[in-house]
Structure 1
Amino acid sequence: MNIVYLIQCHKNFELIISLIHSLALKNNDRVIIHVDKKNEELKLELLDFFKKNTNIYIIPDPISVNWSGLSQVIATLKMLNIANRYKEYDYCCLLSGEDIVLNSHDFKKYLTENNKSFIDFRDDYEKYKWRINKFNFFRDNKLSQRKSLRFVSSLLIRIQKFIPIVRKNIDYESILLGSQWFTLKQEHVEIICKYATSDFINRFKYTSCADEHFFQIIFSQAIPSVEYDRVNLRYIKFEKNESSPRYLTKSDMKYLMSDKNIEYYIARKTTLDLFNEYNKEIKL
C-alpha cells in the first residue's frame, strides 16, 4: 500500500515538518506540497529542508489561494495532476498543513481492507444552490473575509435572487455539498483529472466555496456509487454558525484515542503544541 499525501498549506513550518515525519513514509509513499504563493518564504524553507528527500516534492510554481475561492480547487488539481505522474501508488490523501494522521499504519490497513475512495458529500441543493447559480464576484479576492466585502457580496446575492438572475453553469439537481478533504483511489484520481477540463473548471468561476462542490459533482457523475463512501474519515469540529472548523483541544484528542472503534484517521485542525502533546501520549 503506497499513498501520495497532498498537503495544501500557507503557514506553520514546524507543524508541517512534524506532520510529514509522523506519516512514516515507506517504499513509494510520497508527499506533494502546495504552499500558497503569498508565502514564498515558507516554500523556500521547505525546499531547503527537504532538498535531499526524493519522496517529497514541493510545487515550484504554486498559485495564490484564497479562502472559499476557485483557487482552492485549482491548487488541489495541480497536486492531483502531479500525483498522476507517479504510477506506483494506491491512494491519494488530501491534507491541510494543520492535520494529524492519527496512525499511518492503521490508516493504510483500513484503506486496503475497504478498497474504496472516501469523499464526504450530501444532496442539499435547495439550501446551497445560490453558491453556484449566483455570481459571487469576490471569492478569489484576498480580502474576501473582510466584513465590508462580505457585506457587499451578500447584498449582490440578494439582488440576484430578487431580479432573479440564474447562471446556467450547473443544473440544480447536480449540486452536491461536502468537505473538500478526501482520500481517493488512484484510478479515481485519473478520472478526476480527465473530467476537470478547462470548460468544466470555468463553470465554477465566481462560485462560493467551489472546493465543497467541485469534486463531489464529478464523483456523482463519473464514478459508480459502489466505489466510494460518502465520508472523509476526518474528525472535524464546527462551532455553531461558524464557516471554518475550530482548533481541536486536548479533550478532542483524548476522545479520539480512547475508542479504537471510531473510524476517524485524520484530525483537523491542530496546533504545534497539541501535535507534540499527541505524539508524547502515543509514545507513553
Structure 2
Amino acid sequence: MGKIGILIIAHKPIKYYEVLAKDNQEIDFFVHMDIKTNYINPEIGNLIFLKDELRVDVKWGGFSQVQATLNLLSFVLHNSNCEFFHIVSGEDIVVPVNKDLSESLTWSNSDIFMELTNSPRHRYRVRFFAPHVETIWQRKLVGKLLTFSLKILDKIFITQKDFWFGSNWFSIRRDELKIILNSITDNDISLFKHRLNPDEHFFQYMVVKAGLKDNISSKGNNRYIIFDKKYNNGNNPIYLNSDQLLKLKNIHFPFFARKVDVDNQLKYYERVNF
C-alpha cells in the first residue's frame, strides 16, 4: 500500500511515540518539537526530529502553528518516500483496528480525512486583520476586546461568502498533499499570518482553493474527540483515560483519539494486545 508517515506536533516529551516507533519499524515518525522545548533525542532510527532551523516558537492562536505544520509536511514530502501522512499532536493516540498498524492507517482511494465546514460563527477570524495576533496582548483584556470588536464588525457587515473551518489534525496521501502545498502562495501566507486562529482555517482554505473539496471523506478527520460544555465551556476536547480508550477500540475504528495525557497513553498501550 505504501509507507506511512506519522507527523507529530509536540511541545513536551513524547514517550508514547518513542515506544510506538520502536515497536513499528515499518512506520516513520517525524516530530516538530516546539523550539521552546529542550529534549533529548532518543536516537530511534524511525523517529526523526526536525532540526532547529525548521523548528518554530509555537504560540496559541497564531500562524506559528500553521508554520510548524508546513515545515513538517514539506520536510517529510521532500525527504521520505511516505505515501500516507497523518498530522497528530503529542497528545493523540493510535486506535488500531488490529495488530497491523499499516493496515489500520492506510486507505485505497484519494480521500482526505479532514474536518471541513462552512462556519459563519468563526468567519470574523478570517475576514478581518487582527493586530493583536501572536502578541502579549492577545489573551489579555485589550486583546479580548479587540476580538469582540471583530465579532461585532462581522455582524454589521453582512456577507454570503463561505468561511471554512476545521481541526488542524488531518490525514492525506502524497499526491493530494503535493497539490495543496503547490497551491500555497506568498499572499496566502501573508493573509493568514494576520488572522486569528489560522490553524483552524488555513488548510481547509487550501483544500478548497486546490479544487480538492470533493475529496473530503465523509468520516471527517477520522479522529475520536469528545467536547463537553463542562470542560472549558466546550472549547477544548476532554482528556480521555485508558478505560474510555479500551471501550472505544471495540465500537469505533478511527485512526486516532485525542486528547490523551502521557500516563494514559502508556497505560493504554500496555493494556491493549495489538
TM-score, length-scaled by structure 2 = 0.85
What secondary structure sits across from 1:90 in the alignment? strand
| Cα 1:248–1:55 shift into 2, 3 Å | closer
Which residue does the alignment assign to 1:26?
25
What secondary structure sits across from 1:78 in the alignment? helix
1:265 and 2:268 matched: no
Which residue does the alignment assign to 1:3?
4
Which residue does the alignment assign to 2:69?
76
Residue pair 1:178, 1:213 contacting (<8 A) in 2 also: yes
Q: Where does structure 2 lack aligned partners over 5 or more consecutive residues?
A: none
1:208 and 2:193 matched: no
Report percent identity of matched pairs: 26
| Cα 1:258–1:110 shift into 2, 3 Å | closer
Which residue does the alignment assign to 1:129?
123
Rounded Cα–Cα distance in structure 2 between residues aligned with 1:172 and 1:108: 43
What letter corresponds to residue 119 of structure 1 in structure 2? M
Q: In the TM superposition, what is the alpha-carbon distance from 1:68 to its structure 2 partner?
A: 1.8
1:53 and 2:48 matched: no
Structure 1: which 4+ aligned runs deviate by more than 6 Å?
A: none
| Cα 1:213–1:144 shift into 2, 3 Å | same
What secondary structure sits across from 1:84 in the alignment? helix
Rounded Cα–Cα distance in structure 1 between residues aligned with 2:99 and 2:184: 32
| Cα 1:158–1:258 shift into 2, 3 Å | closer
Which residue does the alignment assign to 1:196?
184
Which residue does the alignment assign to 2:115?
120
| Cα 1:142–1:279 shift into 2, 3 Å | farther
What secondary structure sits across from 2:56 in the alignment? coil
Rounded Cα–Cα distance in structure 2 between residues aligned with 1:250 and 1:209: 30
TM-score, length-scaled by structure 1 = 0.82
Residue pair 2:116, 2:164 contacting (<8 A) in 1 also: yes
Rounded Cα–Cα distance in structure 2 between residues aligned with 1:135 and 1:154: 10
Q: In the TM superposition, what is the alpha-carbon distance from 1:174 to its structure 2 partner?
A: 4.2
What letter corresponds to residue 255 of structure 1 in structure 2? K
Q: Give the paired residue count.
A: 265
| Cα 1:175–1:105 shift into 2, 3 Å | farther
Rounded Cα–Cα distance in structure 1 between residues aligned with 2:259 and 2:240: 6
What letter corresponds to residue 131 of structure 1 in structure 2? R
Rounded Cα–Cα distance in structure 2 between residues aligned with 1:113 and 1:242: 32
Which residue does the alignment assign to 1:138?
132
Residue pair 2:137, 2:143 contacting (<8 A) in 1 also: no
Rounded Cα–Cα distance in structure 2 between residues aligned with 1:4 and 1:172: 39
Using the TM superposition, name which of 232-241 and 110-119 deviates more.
Answer: 110-119
Rounded Cα–Cα distance in structure 2 between residues aligned with 1:113 and 1:63: 31
Residue pair 2:31, 2:49 contacting (<8 A) in 1 also: yes
2:246 to 230, 249, 254: 254
What letter corresponds to residue 94 of structure 1 in structure 2? I
Which residue does the alignment assign to 2:173?
185
